[in-house]
Structure 1
Amino acid sequence: MDAVAKSLKEDYLTCVICYELFVEPKILPCLHTFCKGCLEMFILKLPEKTDFPCPICREPFSLPSRSVSSLKNNFIFKDMLVKLSESRKAGSKRVCSFCILHSKEVEATHKCITCLDLLCSFCVRHKHVFTRQNAYHEIVLLKDYLTGKFTVKKNSEVICERHNERLRFFCPSCSVPICGECALNDHRRHEFVSLDEARNIVAKEMENSIENARAKQEMLKEEHENLTSKTQELSSNEIFLLGEVETKFKEIYRKLTKCRQNLEEKIKKKSSVEKEKIKACLKENESLQGDLQESISFCENIVLNRSDLEVVYFLNDMKSILLKYSVQHEKEEISLPRLEVNIDDEICKMFSVMEAVVDGNNAKKPSLEVGSDSDTAKAEAKCQEKKQEIKPIKNSKKKVKPITTVVPKCVKRYDKSELHDDKTPNYTSVTWIDKSCFGLADGQNQCAVICKTVGGITECRTISVNEIVGIVKFGDSLACKTHSGEIFIYSYPELIYERSFQGAYTLSSRSSELIWVTKQKIMIFKGCSITSLNILDEEGKSFTFKRPFQFCCLPNNSFALTDKPEESLYLLDKRGQIMARRDFTGQGQLGALSCDEDNRIYMTRYETNNICIFDASGEFLRTISLSCILKKPKAISVMNEEAVLVASSDQVVLLSLK
């Protein structure tokens, strides 16, 4: 036993967490060793973490799986524990932890429940409590400890990080637990108390905080209940409103179905009446044909088979018979009218009836049936009022015209396979070059596409232009604008590069002039010279656009321009002064601009699938609907009303407005 005690030194094999001999010792990367169970308890105190500090030196170590089993076993300590266990079997008595360090086997009679040392009676009286680290340790009889009368103090598990000594005191001035070394050095001028007294101090301080936290907790519970109630109420309202929408639209669908049935019945009834007339006419026609055939046969028989005297004798009778049928047919000739039903008027009547019901009593559920006499009469009157309604145009001396929506005729459709060899394009601009040729800016493939139609076949040429977003034709040249504001000039039809400009936000052309816009100026390039116009507001002061977006030059030398951040259309005179502004805030994205020979301005509307037409003063004229022809129009170029090019991202259509 003496030899084993000398070599192993039992305290060296003690875990600093539980202060017992190691059980399944696990070694950390920093080479400190602990019991497997102690490490598991240590990890449980740090939830939702995978990196942990060593309980002794605080060097971090990682456990991605949070499993202590993945750590390596300390086989050296394990073997030493086995040898120590075998040596202990020789004698069953518990020896003093101090005496064994001096190779003396003295039976222990006491146990320190603060540091867990086993002590003999001599060490209790003369050694253990006579150091400043152990002065406040609590020592009990070993037999009382073994019978369970005393338990290990929990505070013994906490170690001072600076001095590697157990924390035994509390400094109220700094509100931190301290060890004996801290009390003698850093906190020597402070008053400190034992941990038992500190517990009472902390409990009193925390009492008010806990009460406030509980009050806050109650408030949060009430708020949670209130929010839950509002959520339920919102869900209930959502279900109710969805049900109302379902009911209303079912009613609308029922009325539409009824209107359709009435229209179909009306058409069928009119058709049936006309068919009966035609049937009667056919029957009469067949009867006349039979009578006339008999008369013809009678006359032919007399002329061919009778004697000369009989032929002469019946001449007047034969003439009168044939003449009678001829005159009778001319007098009774029937004019059959064309079958016509004004479908638009019938639909207008139906919606007018529905509007009258809603306007008259919103709370009352509509119970009108489409086609009832009184309601139809009211609807006809309202429909006529709507047809005659004219929206006044402010400050206009011209004759006021009603606002209308028209659907153009699609003359030709160009798809991507016809224009671009099945490559996916993204057309951002289109321009007429001549009557049979037009140009496109393809931002996806970074090129300008020149399309010419000859004999019904479209031929295409391309020019590589990086970041191209716009294209226009002026004089004998083509101008391509890039995203960075550069303008590249190419000769046409040779497509040879000539020169370039910089600083353009958007560009347009007028005859032989290339015109582009900056935030404060309108630049005009003609021949080999450049002139500029300062942009002025209504009062003649200098004006700055935030971001010019689309631009076109009218034949009367005025200009139209859109400012994207302002969501507005500006009309400028030939001097560059703003004459009018039309605001489109909240009405969707503004599109491309173009104009015709009569100074009408065309603007595409990307989100509503239509084209708005304005006069030179900015007054609205009409809308061209593209819903059934082209989705999301992005670019437009107008030669005249019979030649309007409109492009989406991957298609181009040729439209006629006449």
Structure 2
Amino acid sequence: MEHQQLFPPPAFLQCLLCSKLYESPKILPCLHSFCNQCIEKEFCNKNIITCPQCHERFDISQKELPRNIYLENRVDLYLEQSKHFTDPSCIFCKLSAQEKKEAVSQCVTCLDLLCKECSERHTSTTSTIDHQVIPITEIKSGKYDDTILLVKYKTYCQKHTDEEVWNFCKTCNSLICSVCIIKDHKGHDVDRAADLIKEKENETRILCQGLKDKTSELKQCRVSFTSRRNELKKWEEKKIAEIKKMCSEAVSKIDRGKNQILNDLDNYLKQKSRDLGKGISNITAQCSNISDSVQYVEHVLNGMGAQKIFLFGELQGRLANLDKKIKESIPFTDFSQETENIRIMVTEPKLEITLDKPEDIHEKTYENSAKDCSISTAAVDDDNDNSSDIFYVCDKAVQTSEADFESFTEINSDQKRNYSLELIISHDLRTPSDKHPSYFTSVAWINENQFVAVDAGNAKVKICSFPLGTILNSTQVTKPLAVSAWKDGIFCLTQENKMIIFSSELCPRNTLQNISSLCPSLPSSISYQWIENKTIVTQKKLNVSKLPIVCFPPNRFPVFFRYACSLPNGFYALSDMSNNCVYLVDGNGSIFKALPCNPGSISFDKFYNVFIADFHNSSMRVFDLKGNHLADLLLKHRPRSISILHDKLIVAAEFGSQVFVYDIFYR
């Protein structure tokens, strides 16, 4: 211990768990090492372990953890050096019985300690002219440890202990000497160990260099994330100042909304800041893992003899795994438009923040990031309404033009809009392959040139062109009931409460069970939604979120949602068939309005007004987002299903093989 205090060991020779020099170190697949005793104590013979340093999980049930021969040799070398360098003396002066002289250098070729005079003479003889004599101060720095290891720890044959191994038998997977080739390995596939090592070293160095190059990419991403987080903070301060100013000017009308919108903005930006922070932490951890692994690999490559041939599999496997993780996780995200289109408007008596083109910070990592959206904080304008402000996040409707938006915001919410319908075309969707009479239970727009329909009579989902009505594609589905479209495909509900997700070409991708209802939105939406019992479920890429529905009014019967619709402002409309009503639900899952109408299929127009099909009265009822009744529209047939895109309404009627398309007129 006294030696170690005078000559402290380098940090990488100390076990992270016990903080002592390694004893019988074992190496994990992540290339981090720990004392054998520490591993046994920490993991207690578990098959699945978590590295205490990088927190990666590994299954070690199939093989025993390998010895870390490199660290064993380094610890032995350190212990030997700590004794010699405490009071170093010249070996030649000692052998010639001269007085004890302090060694000032060491030959890293023959490992002799030398005084000043012997150091000068050492490279003057024929046998030692090529030797390399280094000052002890440099030796203590550890700069030449790998060179000393190569000299000190040569690999000798296990059978012929005085013979150094020069060959590797691929047949037996063992290092062998020249005698072994003749006696025990005749006819085996034998290569020179040096050639094989050189080949493996080149492969490993290429992997190391690749990881080093990609580390610079990760660091650049970290700089971008840090810079963006700082920008978000500045944006937050700027927007908070603007919000406070506007609220002060209109305090009599929007005072109730001030604190709420500040909190909403704070939450929105904090979420993005947290997302960026996660990205920074993830990149920092990856850089640390790569640095540790590459440093260790380079030590092994430079400071270990022929036995390193047994480590190449572990080394290359770890490096390849790190390379794969970088490819999967490096974000290539453009942050340029994330906040540049933020606008703050007072449309009395509510205060709004609108983001025209927000971007996701990191789509694979951040499960809680907000949807691509508009953020709106609306103070209720009824003087007698004491309810709190409503915060909602919504997709901006692709089908709505800026002119529509302006006219929508200019019209007083109490003013009823005059609607009218005109039937423009009907399509007979029967095909020669249909074996039974067709009847359609659901219809939905895919885009302005295509729609999809459920032919329950023939158990088919059909994609059709518009305005020609040509069947473009179809597929068989057992007991199909309802259908809708989203950006990347079609989803279909069956009578067995299964939801089948199809690609745009009607190739099945996934099936979910126990689904109560589809919850369609815009066909351009990047997410799709459905109802499970009393919960609204949203799937966006790989992320799934659930919103429980609460605040039900007193009902005579258990609720049964047969139809639903996700509105562009983040609200929902749900048809409760059991209790014969339609609910409006806010972005928090709270029911805030029960509409006075028969429950039926639901859609919305370009002004975000809600259309509800009334099957029994062959009509549709129209409401605004607050639940105010706007109009009743008569249809020529009883509507089973409706869908609206732009100014076009498509209807699947009660009987027959036809669907009907109407023009919607606004006056």
Considering only CA atoms, is the larger Rg found in Structure 1 or Structure 2? 1
TM-score range, shorter chain: 0.3 to 0.5
More helix by share: 1
TM-score by length of 2: 0.35
Q: Which has the higher contact order (CA 8 A, sep 6+)?
A: 2
